[in-house]
Amino acid sequence: VLPKEKITVRAKLHQDKNSKGVLHCAIIAPPDLSRRRRRSSESEEPKMRAVVQRVVSASVEVEGRTVSAIGPGLLVLVGLHESDVDSDADYICRKVLNMRLFPNEETGKTWDHSVVQKNYEVLLVSQFTLYGILKGNKPDFHVAMPPEKAKPFYASLVEKFQKAYKQDAVKDGVFGAKMKVNLVNDGPVTMHLDSAQPSK
């Protein structure tokens, strides 16, 4: 038996010359919206985010001192979600190092080489504000990974990049510090990655 509030009744009045109006009713069950919503929320579950910018140069300052700097390469802002696991870090690492965001001067192709193929550098910067949610006009960051968990997780992400590429070509900022990030965006070229909907 369907709950009263979920029953849809459709009625139509048919008439002809030899009969009085006859009312035909049909009770139609609504679609299972809960299952649809559940599938939707699962597929759209937020995970690790990365904003990747192709740069001519980039650097990070903390308290007036430059702590990291790169020449041509990629500046990657990383947002950690509270539900992130190692597979999310693996995906972001693989995609960033293999994204073909650089031109091939020999062939003239614009999107042909990765940062690894160009032997360029990568600067990683942890940025929990990528998971900011506005409540009215005030940002809220409750879905970002808590600092006590995020610090070692982010350190392991940096290590993944260094092992997958080369240690001296992967730099990072200072986790949890108030940083000034300087960059010269080349293009401009900016890409957004999200491990919730991974591609190959």
**In angstroms, how far is CA 73 from the centroid of its own chain?**
20
Confidence check: pLDDT of 56 > 50: yes
pLDDT score, position 146: 93
Q: Summarize pLDDT for 78-117 with one digit per residue, the tens.
A: 999 999 999 999 999 999 999 999 999 999 999 999 999 9
Structure-token pair, residue 9: 């009744």
Q: Please report, rounded to a whole number, the percentage of residues in the chain having pLDDT higher than 70.
A: 75
* Separation CA 118–CA 42 (nearest Å): 37
Note the pTM of the prediction, 2 decimals.
Answer: 0.76
* pLDDT value at 142 more than 80: yes
Contact 93, 197 (CB under 8 A): no
Tokens of 138: 């005030």
For 98-109, the three-class secondary structure string (H helix, E strand, C coil) is HCCCECCCCCCC
pLDDT band at residue 68 under the 50/70/90 scheme = very high
| Helices 86-98 and 147-164, axial angle in degrees (round to 10) | 40
Instruction: With a cut of 80, say whether residue 163 has pLDDT above it.
Output: yes
Domains and CATH numbers, the chain: 4-38 (no CATH), 45-194 (3.50.80.10)
